[in-house]
Amino acid sequence: MAHPISRRELIRRFRSLGFTGPVSGGRHQFMMKGTLKVRIPNPHESNTIDGSLVKEILRQASIRLNQWEKA
């Protein structure tokens, strides 16, 4: 199970896994790696992303939980 995380930490970990961004794209921003484009949540007041949403983002990015924990 993925743990809640700040948006800043989410971006930091994606960058450490080789993604670039965030890049603006309409309503949301994206992190990119080659042709893979992963939508990341917009910043909100709490600035914390729930663990279930983190898990869904990782699934879309084809990142295994053990890779994520090491990033």
State the pLDDT at residue 70: 87
Domains held by the chain: number: 1
Three-state SS across 23-71?
Answer: EEECCEEEEEECCEEEEECCCCCCCEECHHHHHHHHHHCCCCHHHHHHC
CATH number (domain holding residue 57)? 3.30.920.30
Distance (Å, whole) CA 45 – CA 63? 27
The domain in which residue 12 lies consists of 5-70
- What pLDDT does residue 71 have? 85
- Euclidean distance between CA atoms 25 and 62, whole angstroms: 21
For the stretch 1-56, pLDDT in tens is 678 899 999 999 999 999 999 988 778 889 999 999 999 988 766 688 889 999 99
Cis peptide preceding 22, ω within 30 of 0: yes
Is pTM beyond 0.85 here?
A: yes
